[in-house]
Structure 1
Amino acid sequence: MPSAKAGAEAGPLPGFADKRAFLESGAPWPDEPPPDCIETHASIVCLTRDRAWKLKKPVRLVHIDQRALEDRERFCREELRLNRELAGEVYRGLTPLVQRADGGLALGGEGVVIDWVIETLRLPADEMLDRRLAAGPAPTTEEIAVLAEVLLGFYGRQPRLRRAGDVFWRRLTRDAALSVRHLREMAALAGIAPSDRTLDYATRAVEQARGEILERAARGELIEGHGDLRAEHVCLTRPPVVFDRLEIDGALRRLDPFFEVNALGLECGLLGGGWIRAQLLARLAQAFAPPSEQLLSIFGVVACVTRARIAADHFRDAEVAKPEKYRAAARAYLKLAADLVDAAQDR
């Protein structure tokens, strides 16, 4: 068995750059071609022929601190637990990254545990919902109907969180305030022009929505959801797979399902699939009482300014890998938020 105790006796352990180089070299999979690798702020993912291997970075971000090895292990185990509820056997397991007695690295086996790697089945990239919307073939109404059933089945298995209203409302309040502050700070650097009307509405409307949110919670309309339901986290295989459920903070999963399904639908609209939102919301309304149109608009505005903020915050990096991509995303979400505000105030 791998021995963590030996790490205290072995002197300096390999750093993240060493671990990354080892995985990206393909050394753990000698019978396969070199892996394709994807990097995010929080992790790297190495794609082999039929598997994906995720290594979390030792970083501190807005909602997460995974600098310590024990915290990364905890987040990895939580990611497995949560996603097996929704994506089943796609999430295969957790493998230790070890330093052997000779100083070399290995994925599994004897040695000092220096990190943890999540193993999943590799899903077909061209079946991801965002890719299907961007490059085709366009999703069909039948595929979205099956996706809705997967989501409704998942939501239906969750306990109704009758005391989570304040948790969810405070989360929306924090998201709105943080997004407004960051968007104003990053406007010049990111090349965006958020309107005061939109940003002021985002914070003011959430304050006014507290009563309805608490009422919905008391009626049992809140559950523990996905937490990061985006088109890139939906694979339209048969059956569809919804993956990458948020593990970093349980409070971010305690929500109104209309919040995250509406956000997914709005994103699909930006990608050319505007009809998807209506179909998903209509099916959701058969299992959960829908919110008022005003609250649904508030949900949408908060989701949009949050997505705009995440895109704009890439310009905080010393080097921005794809500046036009993130600038375009921030602008698109700000325009959508402004359109939602206009529609809400015209009612």
Structure 2
Amino acid sequence: MMGHRQIADLAAKVRFLSDPAAYGSGTTHVDARETHMSWVFLTDELVYKLKKPVRHAFLNFSTIARRHFYCGEELRLNARLAAETYRRVLPLRRDVSGHFTLGGSGRVVDRLVEMKRLPQGDMLDARIGSGRLTAAEINEVAKTLAAFYVHRQVEIDDGGAYPRHLIGEQRINRAILLKPEFALADIASGPLDIVDALLQRLRPRIEARILCGAIVEGHGDLRPEHVCLCQPPQIIDCLEFNRSMRIVDPFDEINYLGLECEMLGAPWIRPLLVQALENRLPDRPDAELLALYGGFRALLGARLAVAHLLETPIRHPEKWRPQAIRYIKQAEREIFSVRSRSVRKSTPVCGDA
């Protein structure tokens, strides 16, 4: 939560950055958009991100020094998959008369990440929606991601962060989705129970994958709206604020991107993504583990949807419960192949059955 002074200070910065005059004579329009953790300002050719002075269990942007550090991390980490998009960290200053300035003199009062503006119509979610999408374009994205994962250092010493993250987030999934005010218990309890049971039973397989080098530091938030189908593909908005949340099984992360594409109406994308990764990383998880990954991610999506209803003020209140229901139904589909089987044969931990 932000204090009154922080709220007022942030509001003043947002007003300044929403004015085209802040960016010089070449800027004619600014589209200001608020997210949970940032304000994003889209100008004619560039984009500027201002992190909010917030603190949560999973991130801390509460001071200028911390926001500066994480702006640098955002630049560094996104250079891995979007080097042509992320440009620099820019100081926001306040001069002696109290006016904000970009590029002028005065005391630094915050930092911005400056990015090239990507064509909205070429983002993967927009392409799926318009039907302007080819298998060749998806294969290009898949090859880019597969090469990215192949070149990541394996996380053995820090790999334990991955199962801890799954278990901890699933605990929060259950707490949020079963809140009485959301009236989701009837449809959410079953998938939550199955994913809980799978997490407990399959944890040894995940831990074995850590030991055999299958876990890496990945992107952390791989969704269609973060993939631009330009040349070369730009995969943006890496989760910069918490390294432990980037420690992941690549098959979990790429399967999640495919799941989100499926929910947008393009189920044919997921097999291409997974196959491209398997071509470079032959230690594909077995079907049960992939079902767990998909079920967990879908329930996480449901939880993040209804969590918007806990905010003050609530933005677009009519949107979030129906979206959560869609994710819960997707979770059911993800775990359908394993939920009715009480006895299963053992399977290799670093390869297919």
TM-score, scaled relative to structure 1: 0.92
1:143 corresponds to which of 137, 140, 146 = 137
Secondary structure of the residue aligned to 1:291 is coil
Once the 2 structures are TM-superposed, how far is the Cα of residue 300 of structure 1 from its aligned partner? 0.7
Paired amino acid for 1:59: V
1:300 matched to 2:294: yes
Residue correspondences, number: 334
Q: Given that residues 198 and 338 in structure 1 are in contact (C-alpha distance below 8 angstroms), is that contact kept between their aligned partners in structure 2?
A: yes
Correspondence for 1:239? 232
Aligned residue for 2:190?
197
Question: 1:130-279 maps to which residues of 2 (within 5 A)?
Answer: 130-137=125-132, 139-185=133-179, 188-189=181-182, 193-279=186-272
Please state whether the residue corresponding to 1:28 is helix, strand or coil.
helix
Instruction: Give 3-state SS (helix, strand or coil) of 1:92's partner.
Output: strand
CA shift digits 1:306-329 (9 cap, x unpaired): 111000100002332222332222
Kindly indicate whether residue 120 of structure 2 is the aligned counterpart of residue 115 of structure 1. Answer: no
Q: Is the 8 A contact 1:145 1:279 kept in 2?
A: yes
> Which deviates the most, 13-22 or 174-183?
13-22
The alpha-carbon deviation at position 34 of structure 1 amounts to 2.6
CA distance in 1, matches of 2:21, 2:62: 25
* RMSD of aligned alpha carbons: 1.8
| Structure 1 residues 100 and 177: alpha-carbon distance in aligned structure 2, compared to 1, 3 A threshold | same
Equivalent residue for 2:39?
Answer: 44
The SS at the match of 2:210 is helix
Q: C-alpha separation between the residues in 1 aligned to 2:200 and 2:21?
A: 53
| Contact 1:44–1:54 (8 Å) recurs in 2 | yes
1:74 matches 2:69? yes
Distance 2:79 2:66 in 1: 20
Distance of aligned partners of 1:190 and 1:313 in 2 relative to their CA distance in 1, 3 Å threshold: farther
Aligned AA (1:321): R
Given that 2:217 and 2:248 are in contact with CA atoms closer than 8 Å, whether structure 1 keeps it comes out as yes
Shift, 1:39, TM fit: 1.0
Supply the AA of the counterpart residue of 1:92: R
Q: 1: distance between equivalents of 2:233 and 2:298?
A: 25
How far did residue 68 of structure 1 move?
1.3
1:297–1:341 Cα contact (<8 Å) kept: yes
**Structure 1 residue ranges without an equivalent (≥5):** 1-11
Deviations 1:9-48 (A, max 9, x none): xxx9971111000001222224221301111010011111
Partners of 1:16 and 1:108 lie apart in 2 by 19
**2:16 matched to 1:22?**
yes
The 8 Å contact of residues 231 and 267 in structure 1, kept in 2 or not, is answered as yes
Change beyond 3 A, Cα 1:50–1:344: same
8 Å Cα contact 2:178/2:184 also seen in 1: no
What amino acid is aligned across from residue 262 of structure 1 in structure 2? Answer: N
* Aligned mates of 1:200, 1:164 — CA distance in 2: 28
TM value normalised by structure 2: 0.90
CA distance in 2, matches of 1:125, 1:293: 35
Extract structure 1 runs of 4+ deviating beyond 3 A.
189-194
Please say which of residues 26-35 and 206-215 is displaced more in the overlay.
26-35
Which residue in 1 is equivalent to 2:350?
none
Q: Identity, % of aligned pairs?
A: 36
Aligned with 1:290 (options 284, 290, 293) = 284
Q: Secondary structure of the equivalent of 2:47? A: strand
Unaligned runs of 5+ residues in structure 2 are 1-5, 342-353
Contact 2:93 2:105 in 1 (8 A): yes
